A and B are shown apart, each in its own frame.
Chain A
Amino acid sequence: MASLPKRIIKETERLISDPVPGITAEPHDDNLRYFNVTVEGPTQSPYENGIFKLELYLPDDYPMEAPKVRFLTKIYHPNIDRLGRICLDVLKTNWSPALQIRTVLLSIQALLASPNPNDPLANDVAEDWIKNEEAAKAKAREWTQLYAKKVDDN
């Protein structure tokens, strides 16, 4: 048995009262450690105008352990695999309890703005990216149109 730590309550309240521009995070009613997240694709990136859905879970050991995050929207990105898993140092080896949900989500948004094909998770995408960056970016834009279109556009 463990209560919801104050830190999580504080973080959640702030995420709702003072949201990060372009990012939303709302806890599930029945599990306050489990969040529905949306991240807007950064401007001037192939993901511009896309809204990406993610899920985020704060494990029991949070903040000693990093939040678990994955994309639910299909995305063409060298550091995000087909199941939406994200290769990002702060989610793994470089986690620090000084980081928070909002800083993690900002890092993910920054990862969309600057993909890192030299540290890939999705190998095939990374290869495409290195071989022909323009073509890869075009495909990323295409996928954004296909899978991450804003709801009000539909």
Chain B
Amino acid sequence: MSNIRLREEICCLYVMLCYFQYSPRSFRLLEELEKGEKGKGPESCSYGLADGDDITMTNWNGTILGPPHSNHENRIYSVAITCGPNYPDVPPTIKFISKINLPCVDDVTGEVKASSFHTLRDWKRSFTMENLLLDLRKEMATPTNKKLKQPAEGTTF
């Protein structure tokens, strides 16, 4: 029976050598793109490639529909998202094009500050650009943020 035990030990060793492999950046981004293209995502936000010819899929455009019952209601905010070479291990950078007054957004550049926005700060590999946009929308709707005075509609950073 010793050889059965040995066989089991070998199996255990094999299990220990296991590793989990993630989908590479490009196929992950293609998945996100497909979801965005087919409009499978929520209606309150959208995103797509900034340049349809860019096979590195680095630059993206997004929109967020301002949440109801807030000063953002009926506004459409444009954002620019950059997925670097180490996305999604590293969060993307995201910058508002439309002017907005929000504590986590730099009031000069429009950049979302990773240090003050939890989705970027506590980024996980499983997060997507859609999560990012939806969380930003939630951020606009928090009790303190929804009453913030907003710049004139249509202005840009």
Q: Is the C-beta of B10 less than 8 angstroms from some C-beta in chain A?
A: no
Question: Smallest distance from the beta carbon of A37 to chain B beta carbons, Å?
Answer: 13
The CA of A34 and the CA of B30, in the complex, are separated in Å by 15
Cβ contact within 8 Å between B30 and A33: no
A57 and B23 contact, Cβ closer than 8 Å, known pairs A3-B18, A83-B30:
yes
CB distance from A147 to the nearest CB of B (A): 11
**From A3, A34, A68, contact of B17 by CB (8 A):** A3
Q: In the complex, how many residues of chain B place their beta carbon closer than 8 angstroms to a beta carbon of chain A?
A: 19
Q: Tell me if B43 is interfacial: C-beta within 8 Å of chain A.
A: no
Q: Within the assembled complex, what's the spacing in Å between the Cα atoms of A17 and B17? A: 24
Known A-B contacts A3-B17, A70-B30; the reply to A82 vs B53 at CB < 8 A is yes
Chain B residues with Cβ below 8 Å from A57 are 23-24, 27
If A57-B23, A57-B27, A83-B30 touch, does A3 touch B14 (CB 8 Å cutoff)? Answer: yes
Contact A59 B23 (CB under 8 A): yes
**Chain B at the A interface: SS class:** loop
Smallest distance from the beta carbon of A4 to chain B beta carbons, Å?
A: 8
Contact, CB under 8 Å: B26 / A55: yes
**Are A68 and B27 in contact, with the CB atoms below 8 A?**
yes
Give the CA-CA distance A97 to B42 in the complex, in Å: 34
Tell me, yes or no, whether B15 is within 8 Å of chain A by CB: yes
Contact B21 A31 (CB under 8 A): yes
Q: Is the CB of B18 within 8 A of A1?
A: yes
B55: which of A32, A34, A83 is its contact (CB, 8 Å)? A83
Residues A82 and B52 in contact, CB atoms below 8 Å apart: yes
- B38 → chain A closest CB, angstroms: 13
Which residue of chain A has its CB nearest to the CB of B34? A85
Task: State the 3 A-B residue pairs at the shortest beta-carbon distance, nearest first.
Answer: A3-B18, A68-B27, A1-B18
Listed A/B pairs (26) with beta-carbon separation below 8 Å: A1-B15, A1-B18, A1-B19, A2-B20, A3-B15, A3-B17, A3-B19, A4-B21, A31-B22, A31-B24, A32-B21, A33-B21, A34-B21, A34-B24, A55-B26, A57-B23, A57-B24, A57-B27, A59-B23, A70-B27, A72-B55, A82-B52, A83-B30, A83-B33, A83-B49, A83-B57
Known: A31-B21, A31-B24, A83-B49. 9 other contacts (CB 8 A): A1-B15, A1-B18, A31-B22, A68-B23, A68-B30, A70-B30, A82-B52, A83-B30, A83-B52
